[in-house]
Structures are given as C-alpha cells and as structure tokens.
Amino acid sequence: MSPRDTSFHTSGDTLLDVRGLTVRTDDGRVLVDDLSFTVASGERLGLIGESGSGKSLTTLALLGLLPDGMTATGSVELAGTQVVGAPEKRLTAVRGRDAAVVFQEPLTALDPLMRMGRQIAEPLARRTGLRGRELNSAVTEALVRVRLSEPDRIARAFPHEISGGQRQRVALAMALACDPGLLIADEPTTALDVSVQAEMLDLLDTLVREREMAVLFVSHDLAVVAKVTDRVLVLKDGRAVEEGPVLDVVTAPRAEYTRALVAGARKLESALDLRSPR
C-alpha cells in the first residue's frame, strides 16, 4: 500500500464534490439515491457495487451524460464547475479536460471505422491545438506512454485489427491524452482476461501515480479496487452503504453487504486459478 493511504484527507483541494446526487428515471424510479462523496486532486477512490447498483450511471452523471429518460438532481462540482443542470456548452469544456473516462468494453468504446491514431488525435488536437506532423508525433507519444510496443502500426490500425488488451491501452491513451485532472475508469479491466487484467492495472496505477492524477475506479471486483485505490465507496441499490480507507474496508467491513462482498472476494481469490477470462 502506498503512503498516500493515510494522506487522502490532506492531499490537496477537492477536485470532485458530489452532494446528494440522485438519478431518477422519467417514470419515477430512483436509480442512484442521495449519493455524496468527494475526490481530492491526486486521490484514488474506488466505487464498488454489483451490476445494477448504479455505479456506471453515477460516472455518467458526473459528466452530465445520462441517457435519455433519466435526470440527475443534487450537486456535482467538477473542478469548480457545477455539472448538474449545466448547459451543454459548459459541459463540453469540462469533459476530457477535467475528467476523462475509460470504458469497460474497449471494442465498443472505439469507433470501428476510424483508425486509432485519429481517434486519439481528435481530443489531442482540440486541447493542444497541434496539427500535422506535430500532432502525429504527439499521438505516437501517447501510445508509447501506455506501453504499446508498435505505436505506428497501432495508430494506423482499425480497432478490430488489434487485441483486446491493446485496445484498452488505446482507450486509456485517449483518456489520458488531455491530461485530465480526474480519470474515471469504469470497469476498465472487466472485459480483459486475467493475465492482461493485471498488466492493465499495473499500467493504470503507474501512469496515474506519475501524473498525480485523481482516479475514480469503478468496479464490482473488490480485489481489483483494493489494488489501485486509497479509499472505497460501496454502493448497493444506488445507495452508499460504506465508505472508508480501502484497507479498513477490506479488513474490517462494517456493512453487511460489504462483508458479503469481502467474503466473496476471498473465495474468488483462492479460486483465481480457476477463473476463466470473461
């Protein structure tokens, strides 16, 4: 565990301040219920919960990207900008710059008809204003940074032409391209097989530490979250059931649901060899 484990209360100003975030469908169902948490700059927060617990919706709500038919109430302040109810124009400025997302399934998160170099170049060009040759070398650099060994080939390839692990690295490179203050990783390793998962986690961890970037790591997998975060927030049915330093939560879970989660993770851990790639 890093020394940062104990320093999360003092590690700088609040980057993300969520207060009473509630997501409702138009027909009145409450999907995320009165959620409050903060992420300080450089802090790494894990968001744990089973599928349907509102994790992914929360991440989308943070950037004002809820699907049609859902509305968010409460307050989400991202780097000083109020996201809830903000006009599209202000949100566009925030997205990518203050927070970027890595999605669960890299194959669907990359445009199948666009060469990957161009997909990375798009946000890069917008933020840096680079063009032509300089932009190309910035793209190559972004790919090298995520430890892709053949950046030039990857830049020219279409998503279906490279492996799942490589795709997720490209997606990570895209997210990191604009040096966001907060990286939102929505189950970034779930779609990868176990060996690639570990590599990806290491990479993510290293890159984030290098840049002192804040991370919101969303996962259903307690073991994964414990590896890369300082603090966790446990969600169940859209409600926060427990929050605390990751070590405390794993060693001494208070909420019943968390206890079940920890026990489950232990069982899984011991059966890790039998786990088949998803």
Partner 1 sequence: MTLPAAPLKETEPTESNAPVSRRRRSATLWAGCSLTALIVLLALLSLVWLPFDTDDTSGGRLAGPGDGHLLGTDKLGRDLFTQLMTGARIAVQAGLGSVAVAALVGVTLGVLAAFAQGWLDDTLAAFLDILIAFPTLLLAMLVVAARSATLSSAILAIGLAQSAVVARLVRILVKRVLARDYVTAARTSGTSWPRTVAGHVLPNIWPTLVVNLALQFGLAVLAEAGLSYLGLGAPPPNASWGRMLQEAQATFTTAPAGALAPGILLVVLVVGVNLIADGLRDTLDPATRRRRT
- Contact residues toward partner 1 (CB under 8 A) are 60, 63, 65, 68, 88, 92-97, 99-101, 103, 105, 108-115, 117-118, 121-123, 126-127, 133, 135-137, 139-141, 144, 149, 151-153, 155-158, 160-161, 171, 174-175, 177-178, 184
Which lies closer to partner 1 via its Cβ, residue 104 or residue 258?
104
Contact at 8 Å (CB) between 203 and 20?
Answer: no
Q: For residues 151 and 253, which CB has a smaller minimum distance to partner 1 in the complex?
A: 151
Q: How far is the CB of 136 from partner 1 (least distance, A)?
A: 5
| Minimum CB distance to partner 1, residue 187 (Å) | 12
Q: How near is the Cβ of 131 to partner 1 at its closest, in Å? A: 11
Between 157 and 203, name the residue whose CB sits nearer to partner 1. Answer: 157
Q: Report the nearest approach of partner 1 to the CB of residue 30 (Å).
A: 22
Least Cβ distance, residue 181 to partner 1 (angstroms)? 13
Smallest distance, partner 1 to C-beta of residue 85, A: 17
Among residues 68 and 273, whose Cβ is nearest to partner 1? 68
Q: Which is nearer to partner 1, 183 or 234 (CB)?
A: 183
Of residues 171 and 224, the one with the C-beta less far from partner 1: 171
DSSP the chain: --GGGGTTTTSSSEEEEEEEEEEEETTS-EEEEEEEEEEETT-EEEEE--TTSSHHHHHHHHTT-PPTTEEEEEEEEETTEE-TT--HHHHHHHBTTTEEEE-S-HHHHS-TTS-HHHHHHHHHHHHH---HHHHHHHHHHHHHHTT-S-HHHHHHS-GGGS-HHHHHHHHHHHHHTT--SEEEEESTTTTS-HHHHHHHHHHHHHHHHHHT-EEEEEES-HHHHHHH-SEEEEEETTEEEEEEEHHHHHHS--SHHHHHHHHHHHHHHHTGGGPPP-
